[in-house]
Amino acid sequence: MLTHIKKPVKTFHILEDGHVTSPKGFTAGGVHTGLRKVALDFGWIHSEIPATAAGVYTLNSFQAAPLKLTKQHVDNGQQIQTIVVNSGNANSCTGEDGLIKAQATVEMVAKEKGIDEQLVAVASTGIIGVPLPFEPILKGVHYLNDPLCQNVMDFERAILTTDIETKHVAVELEIDGKTITIGGAAKGSGMIHPNMATMLGFITTDAAVASESLEAALKSTTNQTFNMITVDGDSSTNDMVLALANGTQGNLLLTENHPQWNKFLAGFQYVCQVLAKSIARDGEGATKLIEVEVLGAQTVEAARAVAKSVISSNLVKTAMYGSDANWGRIISAIGYSNQKIEPERVHISIGNTVVVEKGVGIPFDEEAVMLTLVKDEVKLLIDLQQSSYTATAWGCDLTYDYIRINSSYRT
């Protein structure tokens, strides 16, 4: 029998059409500057006061200039007030020129907003290896204080590249008798793989959170969400997730010792999970969101490794696109995950239909499985039956459109 785990009860309220500016004290906007032909391509998030900040960053050795500068500012001051983002050009692998332009962007933003340079974060996404045209950046900074350009939906569109959909979410919860809001926005569609990807994520909250606790929450949550998605196995050079907590709701400072810390953490994790799943769902050319849940692993690391191995398999992804119940591809991906698996214990389900018991295929209703696989969300459940550790990974199918999109990305 497959192991069942009890899902936690939600301690927060999901806001309909919630955004990164749903928390008090945050504004955002976006404009077209010419970095892209017609689409919005320069966006910003601003907090009315300096916010406690934490970040996680790509593991790619070729880290882009804006990422390096932002990491330096977050590490040095642990506060950020304004984030600016451009799409259309990654300002990556651009040498000294890239660093100079990233620093110049920070200086201009600080001057325009009347804040210290250390309170500015900068992010870029787009084509790698092309020098960043600076006139569009100058143009974008000019609009930072324009009241007609403060529109969070414009921000969400301005950070996109090959994405089809914008990605946003917000929740409310009560802490110390105060209504706390946590919001988020993200972009990402291709070059997505566990341990960060060509994605940018921005989490905001009006809660007061200690810097060390915010950093710990972001790192642990990223390991369960953003680091558990894949589209194509490629990791990019620019990717980061930034979390800002401006404390405008006046709650007692949140730390791991606060009696309601777990309540805050549940809302924070939900926001990150929704954004991560939205990225996987919006994979280039994708038609389906694929969820792989692993139960019964010996360690959480083993559960994550198995889930990632299956969700990253191109053969599994193409089978999902073809609505083919080829469980052999799933079990093969489990086997090469480099974990100590006991094959005779493994059970696999596609949707609600068990297809493998004790490592051996069993007769199943092909029509029932087909009805599961043609849906736009498909769940694969793997029970290793070794212990009690679990993990979930998300990805998408691999389609002809993925090749079409990426064979002509520069042109």
Cβ neighbours of residue 385 under 8 Å, at least 6 residues apart?
3, 295, 296, 342, 345, 346, 347
Torsion of CA 244, 194, 321, 359, to 10 degrees: -130
Are 123 and 82 within 8 A, CB to CB? no
Catalytic annotation present for 198: yes
- Per-residue burial over 277-293, b = 16 or more CB atoms within 10 Å of its CB, e = otherwise: bbbbbbbbbbbbbbbbb
Q: How far apart are CA 279 and CA 147, in angstroms?
A: 30
Q: Where are the beta strands (DSSP E) in 246-298?
A: 289-297
Are 196 and 63 within 8 A, CB to CB? no
Cβ neighbours of residue 409 under 8 Å, at least 6 residues apart?
127, 162
Q: Which residue in 27, 52, 198, 222 is the catalytic one? A: 198
Q: How far apart are CA 50 and CA 34, in angstroms?
A: 30
Residues annotated as catalytic (active site), given as ranges: 198
